[in-house]
């Protein structure tokens, strides 16, 4: 039984996390493994059913920061609530740190800490009291509690004995994370960690999440902010209508879609696109502006530049745009509807 729940274990990063880690004895390759996970809600007293998750297969590598993205109502909260033990699955299986959530409920629960969206603590407790209370709820013996160490990691040491109501918004959010860490779970789930949080605070929280990950905690986060996923996550699953429609490393997701653009600005109006341009994905947005779209990884840029040069255009400016997860997300979710 894998039981190293310490978050001081070194953690490799980026896309090879699963490959690097799979051979460590006693440690699961995947922090979370879902197979055919399905949830159908039954509206109380009626025959109406709502299929919130439909046969979801997902493998979250140990040591990764994994993003779960999806539009409202896609099924993200249902998935997290099943892992947290708050919602019962209808069928399929889910393993947390190698433990089946049904057959081995207790070790599965002890392997995960969930940070909900809403602040949920009594403002008249101090951070230290809150963590001690929470550790008690999880049955962590006094000798094994690490409340002070956790407060230190989350940058809250000097507020350990202050009423939580006097903490800043950012500190309160960090305290929520600290609270989810009292039983030293190897997996931390953050549900929309920066919803409604300003840019500065968001950056600060990202830094703490990265720090926890460096210390060995696998992070699963849901977010509406694609920028957040792009910035933080090693791997991303996009979920729509209860189904996983894409799951890949962040890099591969960004590379696989036709998401880069090159825009040429011309000194004169162009009445007709040169024939040599028809082999490209090209659009003339104004008489003096042509935009090419191309895949980041197929080396088309050199061909485009050569064709533009051969066409003797009077180019006065060239602009490129990376494209981002937003483009990918829109392309994929649009595709799923059609
Ligand atoms: N208790 C419930 N009873 C019936 N239907 C539910 C229940 N909880 C969620 N649903 C439905 O299941 C679907 C998935 O909801 P879920 O909350 O998991 O989505 P989500 O991706 O978390 O959305 P959001 O980003 O808005 O929180 C939605 O259509 C929702 O209305």
| Beta carbons within 10 angstroms of residue 204's beta carbon | 18
187: helix, strand or coil: strand
Residue 2 is predicted with a pLDDT of 38
**C-alpha to C-alpha distance for 11 and 77, rounded to whole angstroms:** 27
User: Ligand 1: which atom is nearest the Cα of residue 50?
Assistant: 5
Task: Walk me through the domains of the chain, giving residue ranges and CATH numbers.
Answer: 1-111+185-257+324-338 (3.40.50.300), 121-184 (no CATH), 260-321 (3.30.70)
pTM, 2 dp: 0.76
User: Ligand 1: which atom is nearest the Cα of residue 39?
Assistant: 12
Q: Which residues of the chain have pLDDT under 70?
A: 1-25, 256-259, 296-297, 323-325, 327, 331, 334-338
The reply to whether ipTM tops 0.85 is yes
DSSP letter at 232?
H
Residue 259 is predicted with a pLDDT of 67
Task: Report pLDDT digits (tens) over 91-136.
Answer: 999 999 999 999 999 999 999 999 988 888 888 899 999 999 999 9
61: which strand partners?
A: 30
276: which strand partners?
A: none
Q: Distance from the CA of 212 to the center of ligand 1, in angstroms?
A: 29
Per the document, the length of the chain is 338
Task: Report pLDDT digits (tens) over 290-299.
Answer: 999 887 667 7
Percent of the chain's residues with pLDDT above 90: 51
CA distances from 188 to 27, 28, 177 (A): 16, 16, 8
* Smallest CA separation from ligand 1 atom 7, residue: 41
Residue 142 is predicted with a pLDDT of 92
Q: Distance from the CA of 243 to the center of ligand 1, in angstroms?
A: 13
**Pocket around ligand 1 at a 6 A CB cut-off:** 41, 43, 50, 52, 70, 72-78
* Smallest CA separation from ligand 1 atom 28, residue: 73
CA distances from 27 to 3, 5, 107, 192, 219 (A): 8, 10, 14, 28, 16
């Amino acid at each position: 039984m894998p039981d190293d729940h310490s978050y001081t274990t070194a953690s490799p990063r980026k896309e090879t996390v699963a490959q690097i880690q799979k051979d460590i004895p006693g440690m699961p390759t995947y922090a979370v493994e879902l197979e055919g996970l399905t949830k159908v809600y039954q509206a109380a007293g009626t025959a109406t059913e709502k299929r919130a998750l439909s046969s979801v297969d997902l493998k979250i590598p140990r040591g990764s920061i994994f993003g779960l993205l999806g539009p409202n109502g896609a099924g993200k909260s249902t998935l997290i609530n099943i892992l947290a033990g708050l919602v019962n699955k209808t069928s399929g299986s889910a393993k947390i740190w190698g433990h089946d959530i049904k057959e081995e409920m207790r070790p599965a629960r002890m392997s995960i800490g969930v940070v909900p969206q809403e602040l949920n603590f009594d403002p008249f407790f101090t951070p230290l009291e809150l963590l001690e209370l929470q550790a008690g709820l999880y049955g962590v013996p006094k000798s094994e509690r690490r409340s002070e160490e956790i407060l230190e990691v989350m940058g809250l040491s000097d507020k350990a004995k202050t009423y939580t109501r006097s903490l800043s918004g950012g500190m309160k959010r960090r305290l929520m994370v600290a609270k989810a860490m009292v039983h030293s779970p190897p997996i931390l789930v953050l549900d929309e960690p920066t919803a409604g949080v300003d840019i500065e605070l968001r950056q600060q929280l990202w830094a703490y999440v990265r720090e926890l990950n460096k210390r060995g905690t696998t992070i699963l986060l849901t977010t509406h902010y694609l920028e957040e996923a792009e910035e933080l996550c090693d791997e991303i699953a996009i979920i729509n209508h209860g189904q996983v429609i894409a799951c890949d490393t962040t890099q591969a997701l960004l590379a696989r879609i036709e998401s880069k653009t090159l825009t040429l600005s011309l000194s004169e109006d162009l009445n007709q696109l040169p024939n040599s341009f028809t082999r490209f994905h090209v659009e003339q947005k104004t008489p003096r502006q042509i935009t090419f779209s191309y895949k980041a990884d197929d080396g088309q840029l050199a061909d485009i530049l050569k064709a533009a040069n051969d066409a003797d255009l009077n180019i006065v400016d060239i602009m490129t745009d990376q494209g981002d997860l937003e483009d990918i997300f829109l392309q994929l979710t649009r595709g799923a509807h059609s």
